[in-house]
């Protein structure tokens, strides 16, 4: 049986995807690529490359969109994997955005009690955020990501050329997670984003590579201190909680649910960051100037900044109360304490 690595190999460079056949051969004797309906032709190309390298390779496609992140689709995929003959000597490749990464990663973690997978992220969100940190999962009718596992891929191939076909709206949505990394951990990176916004939005390759590398560094630093999100349950630890990465997400997840997942994740997080800043300013932990600098950057990246009108206080509280990070009647909000720093603060929902 192939051993599942704990620390994924991370390759970030132009044409990184060319490494896929070699890595697949290293990982198993058979391969199945899982992708979504928008990426089928790219997935076909990659499967052909894998076959040329001498390995049997099948392709499974799910409909694009958050609705595919469900237990029903997990079961369908597992049945389909059995039909391809994939055994424990096989390897899965997740080609797609955060939906495919979360879904295929979850399938890899439960299929035959776990087989290796390789992540090939194709959106900014997936490259900057969801492919890193080992979280997989699917949604339930009652909320997002309520079923999942910690199951890192054996390798992550980040190839900015895969972003060439990404629609502008999705590209900008991904930038919300990148801005988040600057706010919670790295003021210099935040300033880099302020200075280079135009070139990033024009998708200049050198800047995209620099941005992805720095963003990955921030995420991996925070995840490394609390890989399984066990803090703040450990009171005397000097490590920071991975929950800091939830800045913008407590309100963001509620907004996504409220919109029945028609609002892209990154846009929900953008609005979530601005709304959570209001809480931080009200608590006296963030200055108004810092909050304005953050909302200006979010706006300059072409992201939405206003709560939709249906997001009433009562509805939002009800949705937030279902968040899996609730502790008793409190929810922990990750709030910025400046540009480049953040902390966790309990908020009473009662």
Q: Which residues are catalytic?
A: 113, 135, 177, 219, 229, 242, 246, 249, 253, 265
Smaller CB separation from ligand NAD, 102 or 286: 102
Closest CB 127 distance from ligand NAD, rounded Å: 9
Residues facing residue 150 across a β-bridge: 135
Candidate list 74, 135, 243, 291; residue touching ligand NAD; CB under 6 A: 135
User: Is 170 a binder of ligand NAD (CB under 6 A)?
Assistant: yes
**Which residues make Cβ contacts (< 8 Å) with residue 331, sequence separation at least 6?**
250, 320, 321, 323, 325, 346, 347, 349
Q: Which lies closer to ligand NAD via its Cβ, residue 162 or residue 286?
A: 162
Q: Is 126 in the site for ligand NAD (CB under 6 A)?
A: yes
Task: Identify residues 86-105 at the interface with ligand NAD (CB under 6 A).
Answer: 96-100, 102
Instruction: Of 165, 166, 106, 109, give the one whose Cα is nearest residue 130.
Output: 106
The answer to whether residue 36 forms part of the interface with ligand NAD (CB under 6 A) is yes
Instruction: Say whether residue 159 binds ligand NAD (CB under 6 A).
Output: no
Interface with ligand NAD, residue 323, by CB under 6 A: no
Q: Return the range that interacts with ligand NAD (CB under 6 A); candidates 12-20, 71-79, 127-135, 220-228.
A: 127-135
Of the residues 81, 86, 125, 184, which one makes contact with ligand NAD according to CB under 6 A: 125
Tell me how far, at minimum, the Cβ of 332 lies from ligand NAD, in Å: 17
Does residue number 129 form part of the binding site for ligand NAD (CB under 6 A)?
Answer: yes
In terms of DSSP H, where are the helices of the chain? 20-27, 40-52, 71-84, 98-110, 124-125, 168-185, 187-201, 205-225, 249-258, 265-283, 288-300, 313-320
Of the candidate residues 30, 58, 145, 215, the single one contacting ligand NAD (CB under 6 A): 145
The residue with its CB nearest to ligand NAD is 98
For residues 123 and 121, give the distance between their C-alpha atoms in angstroms, rounded to a whole number: 6
Find the length of the chain.
350
Total interface residues for ligand NAD by CB under 6 A? 32
DSSP-based three-state secondary structure for 62: strand
The tokens for 174 are: 């991904």
| 116 is a site residue for ligand NAD (CB under 6 A) | no
Q: Which of 8, 28, 133, 153 contacts ligand NAD by CB under 6 A?
A: 133
Q: Residue 245: which of 137, 162, 141, 125 has the closest Cα?
A: 125
Stretch that binds ligand NAD, among 11-19, 55-63, 227-235, 259-267 (CB under 6 A): 259-267
The reply to whether 250 sits near ligand NAD by the rule CB under 6 A is no
The nearer residue to ligand NAD, 64 or 349, going by C-beta atoms, is 64
Q: Could you say which of 4, 10, 53, 64 contacts ligand NAD (CB under 6 A)?
A: 64
Residue 94 contacts residue 70 (beta carbons within 8 Å)? no
DSSP string covering 242-303, please? GGGGGTTHHHHHHHHHHTTT-S-HHHHHHHHHHHHHHHHHHHTSS-HHHHHHHHHHHHHTT-
**SS3 state of residue 86:** coil
Ramachandran class of 96: left when φ > 0, alpha when ψ lies in -120 to 50, beta otherwise: left
* Residues making contact with ligand NAD (CB under 6 A): 36, 38-39, 64-66, 69, 96-100, 102, 122-123, 125-126, 129-130, 133, 135, 144-145, 162-163, 165-166, 170, 173, 264-266
């Amino acid at each position: 049986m192939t051993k599942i690595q704990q620390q994924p190999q991370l390759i970030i460079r132009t044409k990184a995807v060319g490494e896929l056949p070699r890595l697949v051969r290293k990982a198993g004797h058979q391969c199945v690529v899982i992708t979504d309906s928008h990426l089928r032709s790219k997935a076909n190309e990659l499967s052909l490359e894998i076959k040329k390298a001498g390995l049997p390779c099948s392709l499974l496609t799910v409909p694009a969109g958050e609705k595919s992140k469900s237990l029903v689709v997990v079961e369908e995929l597992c049945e389909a994997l059995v039909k391809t003959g994939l055994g424990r000597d096989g390897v899965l490749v997740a080609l797609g955005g955060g939906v495919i990464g979360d879904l295929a990663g979850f399938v890899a973690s439960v299929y035959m009690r776990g087989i290796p997978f390789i992540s090939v992220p194709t959106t900014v969100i997936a490259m900057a955020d969801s492919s890193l940190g080992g979280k997989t999962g699917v949604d339930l009718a009652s909320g997002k990501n309520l079923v999942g596992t910690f199951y890192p891929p054996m390798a992550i191939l980040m190839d900015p050329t895969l972003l060439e076909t990404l629609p502008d709206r999705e590209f900008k949505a991904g930038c919300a997670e990148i801005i988040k990394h600057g706010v919670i951990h790295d003021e210099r990176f935040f300033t880099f984003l302020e200075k280079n916004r135009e070139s990033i939005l024009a998708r200049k390759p050198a800047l995209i590579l620099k941005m992805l590398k720095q963003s990955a560094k921030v995420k991996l630093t925070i995840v490394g201190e609390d890989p399984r999100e066990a803090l703040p349950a450990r009171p005397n630890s000097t490590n920071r909680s991975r929950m800091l990465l939830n800045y913008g997400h407590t309100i963001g997840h509620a907004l996504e649910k409220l919109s029945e997942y028609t609002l892209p994740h990154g846009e929900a997080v953008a609005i979530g960051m601005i709304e959570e800043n209001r809480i931080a300013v009200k608590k006296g932990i963030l200055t108004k100037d810092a909050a304005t600098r953050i909302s200006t950057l979010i706006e300059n990246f072409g992201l939405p900044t206003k709560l939709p009108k249906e997001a009433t206080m009562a509805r939002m509280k009800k949705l937030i109360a279902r968040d899996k990070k609730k502790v008793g009647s409190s929810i922990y909000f990750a709030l910025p304490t400046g540009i480049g720093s953040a902390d966790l603060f309990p908020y009473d929902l009662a």
